[in-house]
Structure 1
Amino acid sequence: MHRLKPYLVGYQEFAALYGVAPQMVSQWLSPSRGVLDPATAIVVSGVRYWPLGFACRFGTTTARPKQLNVRYKERLIAEQGEGWEADSRDQLPPIVGQQEIIELFHLPSQGTLATRIAAGNFPQQDWLLSGSGLWLLDTVLGAAPGLRASARSLSWEVDDQVAAALRGGAYDGPGSKVLTRGRHAPKGL
């Protein structure tokens, strides 16, 4: 079964849609500004990502409207391949990054996974956003039998409880929260 993936943006892509520095997206998220609600994003491996549809509408929802760079949007769609434009985080399928994958397979370290990815022995990421690879949970689960078959020492057994939590939106393990730094850290964005 091959399902089309939704178009997503990270901080860098969100900023480029409006011709601002990525730090501006962080400022929009700050409680003192309250321009961008953190609940509009999903958190994968401790980083926020937004559906492209939401990100493109965002500029029209602010007190000071922002102009969308339509050419950059078209470029993002072309780079991400065939997909669809989600408008809210609730429409997104389960998406994982390295931290969730490490927990899913109970890998001993991030280096174990990073080595496998670098060697080309892991499924290609479904997205490369703001410098980070992201996968559909189904992409990773579908690759599990092949990972087990090619493994020398790791079992690559899927933890069904972690998979169910990821699929059900109840995952609260490593990578599920944004680790806030700076002056807003105590407020836990």
Structure 2
Amino acid sequence: MIVVEKPYLAGVQEIGRIFHMKPTYASVCLADGRFDPQPDPLIVSGSRYWLLGDVRVMRTPTKTADPIAIGELEAGQRPGRMAVTGDELPVIVGLAELGEVFDTKATSVQSMLLAGGWREPDWRLSGSPLWLLEPLVAPGVDPRGDGMPRARRSWEPDHEVVASLRAGTYTGPGSTVRARGRAAGGK
């Protein structure tokens, strides 16, 4: 079994909770650069996530991070660690990347997860499941169940996709932020 330390992370909903603001307003503040410092996000399955270590030092002109909310978020992600730099990050994937890794549709992975037929995610942030890549692609491990031998050859990972994710050169589905709201043509 592969053991990878997972860093504490926060998505837009969690940042909203930490700064006592609605997630939509937190998203606007992040997009407009109202937080100082403005850390670079990690993009997973088209959504932005931040290291909790970076979030805890962010502030706006009128708000600072609530240490109690940070503690609660950290407690909900244990076991884990407070990563300090992006260089300390393991490869993290969501539904879009898993669809590419296992040559299936992201919606198929989501359906299997909801039915209890896929390995539980390492995080559930801002409503999205996220996993550490390495335990899912370890030789002999079935991604549908923790530590189970592979039952079907079709669940072998695509080694080219895995290599691009590890190298940080992945450009497939989920590698860029999806436009939402007005930016996506909504009202």
Normalised by the length of structure 1, the TM-score is 0.83
* Paired position in structure 2 for 1:5: 6
Report Cα offsets for 1:78-120 as digits up to 9, x if no partner: 111121112333331110000000001111x233212321232
- Single out whichever of 128-137 and 80-89 deviates more from structure 2: 80-89
1:116 and 1:168 map into 2 onto residues whose CA distance is: 28
Q: How far has the Cα of 1:144 moved from its partner? A: 6.0
Considering only aligned residues, what root-mean-square deviation do their CA atoms show, in Å? 2.4
Report Cα offsets for 1:145-167 as digits up to 9, x if no partner: 4257334xx71121111101111
* Paired position in structure 2 for 1:93: 90
1:149 and 1:163 map into 2 onto residues whose CA distance is: 17
Quick one: percent identity of the two aligned structures? Answer: 37
Q: How far has the Cα of 1:125 moved from its partner? A: 0.5
* Paired position in structure 2 for 1:142: 138
Does the CA contact (< 8 Å) of 2:12 and 2:23 recur in 1?
A: yes
- Single out whichever of 116-125 and 73-82 deviates more from structure 2: 116-125
2:134 and 2:25 map into 1 onto residues whose CA distance is: 33
2:111 and 2:117 map into 1 onto residues whose CA distance is: 9
Q: How far has the Cα of 1:171 moved from its partner? A: 0.7
Does the CA contact (< 8 Å) of 1:46 and 1:177 recur in 2?
A: yes
Gaps of 5+ in 1: none
Q: How far has the Cα of 1:39 moved from its partner? A: 6.3
1:149 and 1:184 map into 2 onto residues whose CA distance is: 42
* Paired position in structure 2 for 1:156: 155
Gaps of 5+ in 2: 144-148
* Paired position in structure 2 for 1:43: 43
Matches within 5 A, 1:78-89: 78-89=75-86
Matched residue count:
178
Q: How far has the Cα of 1:35 moved from its partner? A: 2.4
1:185 and 1:162 map into 2 onto residues whose CA distance is: 27
1:184 and 1:112 map into 2 onto residues whose CA distance is: 27
Does the CA contact (< 8 Å) of 2:8 and 2:81 recur in 1?
A: yes
* Paired position in structure 2 for 1:28: 29
Q: Give the secondary-structure state (helix, strand or coil) at the position aligned to 2:163.
A: helix
2:127 and 2:182 map into 1 onto residues whose CA distance is: 25
Normalised by the length of structure 2, the TM-score is 0.84
Q: How far has the Cα of 1:74 moved from its partner? A: 1.1
Change (3 A) 1:106 1:73: same
